[in-house]
Amino acid sequence: MKRPLWLFFFLFLTLSAQTLTTEANYDESKVGAYTLPDPLLLANGKTVRDASTWKSQRRPEIFRLFESEVYGKSAPKPSKLEFEVTSREAKALGGDATRKEVTIWLTPKQKMHLLVYLPNDTKRPYPVFLGLNFRGNHAVANDPGITMSTAWMREAPGVENHRATEASRGTEAGRFQVKTILRRGYAVATVYYGDIFPDRKDALADSIIPHFYRPGQTTPDPGQWNALAAWAWGLSRVMDYFEKDRDIDAKHVAVWGHSRLGKAALWAGATDQRFAMVISNDSGEGGAALARRNFGETVERINTSFPHWFCGNYKKYNKDVAALPVDQHELLALIAPRPLYVASAEDDQWADPRGEFLSAVGAGPVYSLFHATGLGTDQMPGLHQPIMNTIGYHIRAGKHDVTEYDWEQFLTFADKHWKAR
């Protein structure tokens, strides 16, 4: 029997509509009921009642689940890391700062470039804000002395054929607020995330990951790292360098990130407890936002658009998020008892601001084990009403971005926790 062609088209369209829930939900009344896993409930059914049981039993359980089911297990610290200071300029930014550039050799063949600004008017060692950037180190400040990145880049202002041009200098300066941070006595450090894993679906071969394959391995196992874990791993390698740099106070390193780099910063804070403070800006799905809340981006959407970000196992939950053995409040709990700040933006509904807030609420019981006040409330604050306990939170007006307002809060939060150092 001959079937008309249009019937096949019709079937094709119906099937593809079913494979991906096309419309994101932005209606609070349609979020639906969900039950979050209890961070204090051990796999053996007992409840954690003190910090030492958390540290020795429950934290490792949760950590391993995130490692095998969400971000993937990363390679250990390389045995042969090499650091090469390639430039030092004591009168950068009109004399306000010392600029250093450091090449970090991750393997004898793979390197990443670190840019550091130190404030000139206070005494070293300096506490530091460390964050990855999207557009190359030369994009974070209007400073012609920064070496331009020659790496592959996503298209952006001043980027041509995936390579940075002079016109891209300073194009990410608004997000970094270098002078403001320096003025408050903190150093600024950054690495281009593409030095670790170029942000494309087909970039695995150019990333750090194959350098750590077992003999004969050609692709990561389903429980092994992918781009997000690789970016987080890169942040830890900067920490390795800081431990050897006498300009930096390695006990006061705040790791921060925006959006996908906020997800990476949270995972860096979870995997590496040397980071004394963690800041997530608009990190959304797979970052601070609860996965089980059906609002904005979903697990299925993120795994479909960005298959190279999370580990293979995470894809199992595309259609069944309730089966995830963890949720993101437990990622935040892995940071306890260190100060943690979660920032949202009102117009960034894709990242689910309420889901980011509720996740911070959900980490609270773990902070309590350490006699620390997490957020100290379960009432979401209005716009521009920051909460600053051991967990901090704000939602500001405006879009998905990092603004002066965000930095004002991060700096106040750091002052509050670190002033007495």
Contact positions vs ligand GCU (CB under 6 A) = 259-260, 284-285, 297, 302, 305, 350
Q: What is the 3-state secondary structure (H, E, C) of 185-217?
A: CCEEEEEEHHHCCCCCCCCHHHCCHHHHCCCCC
Minimum CB distance to ligand GCU smaller for 118 or for 261: 261
**C-beta of 263: minimal distance to ligand GCU in Å?**
7
Active-site choice (162, 236, 368, 400): 400
Instruction: Take residue 173 and report the two structure tokens written for it.
Output: 């300066």
**C-beta of 163: minimal distance to ligand GCU in Å?**
21
**C-beta of 134: minimal distance to ligand GCU in Å?**
8
Minimum CB distance to ligand GCU smaller for 193 or for 241: 193
Separation CA 104–CA 21 (nearest Å)? 42
Render 321-342 in DSSP notation, one character per residue: GGG-S--HHHHHHTTTTS-EEE
Task: Please choose, from the candidates 381, 307, 394, 286, the residue with its C-alpha nearest in 3D space to the C-alpha of residue 344.
Answer: 394
Residue 400 appears among annotated catalytic residues: yes
**C-beta of 413: minimal distance to ligand GCU in Å?**
22
φ/ψ of 106, rounded to 5, equals -80, -35
Minimum CB distance to ligand GCU smaller for 244 or for 399: 399
Separation CA 309–CA 90 (nearest Å)? 38
**C-beta of 418: minimal distance to ligand GCU in Å?**
28
Minimum CB distance to ligand GCU smaller for 182 or for 265: 265
Active-site choice (207, 259, 280, 359): 259
Tokens 């958390």 belong to residue:
54
What CA–CA distances, in Å, run from 197 to 45, 75, 207, 262, 295?
A: 39, 14, 4, 15, 29
Residue 68 appears among annotated catalytic residues: no
Minimum CB distance to ligand GCU smaller for 280 or for 390: 280
Instruction: Take residue 289 and report the two structure tokens written for it.
Output: 């936002």
Catalytic positions: 259, 400
